[in-house]
Amino acid sequence: MNPRDVALTLVREAIRAADPYLAVKRALRIEDGKIIVQGKVFGVRGRIYVLAFGKAACEMARAVEDVLGEGIASGIAVTKYGYGRPLRRIKVIEAGHPIPDENSIRGAEEGLRLVERVGSKDILLVLISGGGSALFELPEDGITLEDIKKTNDLLLKSGARIHEINTVRKHISKVKGGKLAKRVKGTLVALIISDVVGDDLEAIASGPTVKDPTTFEDAHRVLRLYGLWAKVPESVKAHIERGLRGEAEETLKEDLPNVHNFLIASNSIACEAVAAKARELGFNPYILTTTMEGEAKDAGLILGAIVQRAYWEEDPFRKPAVLIAGGETTVTITGDAGMGGPNQELALSIARKIAGLKGVVVVAFDTDGTDGPTDAAGGIVDWETLKRLEAVGLRIEEVLAKHNAYRALKVVGALLFTGPTGTNVNSMVIAVIWRIGKSSH
C-alpha cells in the first residue's frame, strides 16, 4: 500500500467506526419484553414511538426497526436531502442542511404531533445526530423561516463556535434547548451521536432533550460578540429582548425524571478506531487531540508544523507514524467567497507545511461526507500538492483569502469524495508519515 492508499483505508475505518446503525445495535436491545439501553432497563407498559432527526436519522431508525420490529407503533425520521432511505414503520422526511427549509419546519411539526400521541405509559425513542439543529426546526412565534435562515447564515459565516451558534438557535426555537423534552408525557429515551467538540449533550442538535445551561443573556452576548446584533432580523432581536425581560419561555433548566439521554457514538470513538487500524497496518498511531477547534487555515498551519517535526525527528513520534486529530474547525467569511469548506481549507493550509516531505499524505475530512456546502468530504494532500498548484498558477494564500479551496483542490485532483455516509461525528485529520529514521534539514 502506498501512503495515499493507507490514508484512504483509515478514512473508511473512521466512517465505519461512526456507523450509526452499528452504534444503535450496540446500545439497544429488547429482552423479556423490556427495552435495555447500555444496561439500563425500561419496562414497556404502553406503545413505543420513534422520532429521529439528523444526518444519521435513517440509519439509526433502521437499526431500531431491526431491534424492535412490529413493536414500533409509529415514527418520523427527518434527515438531509440525499440521506433518506425507505423504512418499514417509520416515515422519512428529507430537509435542508446546513440552512433549514420548509421541510425542516414540516418535520418538526409532524414530530410534535407524534409527541402529542405519547401517553404517560408510552416510550418515545428519540434518535439524535449531527445536523439536527437545521433539519428539525420550529421557530418561536413571530419568527419566520426566512428569519431563521438569515440568522443561521450569519452565524455560520461569523466564525462562531458551534456551542455559540447553538446558544442562539436554542433561544429562537420551540424544540431546542430541552423544549422538546418538556412536551413528552411518557418516558423519553434519547440515543445520541455526537457531532460537537467535547460531546456536550446540550450542544448536539441544540440539545432538544437536555437541560440547557445557556440563557437569553448568553444568546444576546454571542450576537454582540460577533457583530451580528444589528444584522439579525428584527423578529429575532425582538424575541431575545422579550426573553431578556422575562417575557419569553426559557430553555429547560432542570433534569426531568422521565427523560434519559445516552451517548452512543462520538469523534473520540472514531479516532480510537483509526488508531487501532493504523496499528494493524504496521504504523505507530498518535491521537493528538479530539477537541480540535479554531480557524481552519490556522489549525492547518499548526498541524502541518507537527507533521514536519514528526517527519524529521524521531522523538516523540516513531515512524512509520499516523497522526490523528479530531474536532471541528470553522471558516470566517468576509465579503464574497468562492466554494469550499473548513476541511478543504485545512488541507490546503497543511499542504504549505508538508511540501517536499516525500511519503507524507494528509487527509482532512468531515465524517458526514459533505464538507461545507459542497459535494466533497474534504481534501487529501501530499508532498507534491503545493508544486502542482503553483504549476497551474494557483497560490494557496490567494485561494484561502478568497475561500475557493474546492476549485483549487479539484484542479490538482486533491478533493476527497465519499458520498453521503449517513453519519456525522465531526471532522478528522489523518497524517500518514512513512519516513523511517532521523534526518537533518
Q: Which of 205, 231, 265 is where one domain is finished?
A: 265
* 386-389 own/partner pairs: CB under 8 Å, 24+ apart: 386/351, 386/352, 386/355, 387/355, 388/412, 389/351
Are 277 and 261 found together in one domain? no
pTM of the model: 0.79
Quickly list H helices, 234-341: 234-244, 267-280, 296-312
CA pseudo-torsion sign 157, 152, 80, 21: positive
- The structural domain count of the chain equals 2
Q: Among residues of the chain, what percentage have pLDDT more than 70?
A: 98
- The better pLDDT of the pair 438, 76 is held by 76
State the DSSP H helix or E strand holding residue 153, giving kind and residue range, or none if neither: helix 145-157
Is 71 within the bounds of a domain? yes
Are 28 and 160 found together in one domain? yes
Is 14 within the bounds of a domain? no
Interhelix angle 145-157/162-170, nearest 10 degrees: 160
DSSP assignment string, 386-435 = HHHHHHTT--HHHHHHTT-HHHHHHHTT-EE-----S----EEEEEEE--
Are 364 and 420 found together in one domain? yes
Q: According to the model, what pLDDT value does residue 431 have? A: 98
What is d(CA 257, CA 116) in angstroms, rounded to the nearest whole number? 18
Are 26 and 168 found together in one domain? yes
Q: Per-residue pLDDT averaged across 351-367, rounded?
A: 96
CATH of the domain at 131: 3.40.50.10180
Is 256 within the bounds of a domain? yes
CATH of the domain at 294: 3.40.1480.10
Are 260 and 271 found together in one domain? no
Is 336 within the bounds of a domain? yes
pLDDT tens readout for residues 186-217? 999 999 999 888 888 998 999 999 999 999 99
Calculate the average pLDDT of the chain. 94
Reduced to 3 states (helix: H, G, I; strand: E, B; else coil), residue 9 is: helix
pLDDT tens readout for residues 33-87? 999 999 999 999 999 999 999 989 999 999 999 999 999 999 999 999 988 999 9
Determine phi and psi for 26, rounding to 5 degrees: -70, -35
Are 276 and 346 found together in one domain? yes
Q: Per-residue pLDDT averaged across 293-315, rounded?
A: 95
Are 44 and 163 found together in one domain? yes
Specify whether the CB–CB gap between 223 and 232 falls below 8 A.
yes
pLDDT tens readout for residues 214-240? 999 999 999 999 999 999 999 999 999
Are 124 and 271 found together in one domain? no
What is d(CA 149, CA 139) in angstroms, rounded to the nearest whole number? 10
Could you give the count of Cα atoms lying within 13 Å of 48 in the half-sphere of its Cβ? Answer: 21
- Domain range enclosing 351: 267-433
Is 354 within the bounds of a domain? yes
Q: According to the model, what pLDDT value does residue 438 have? A: 47
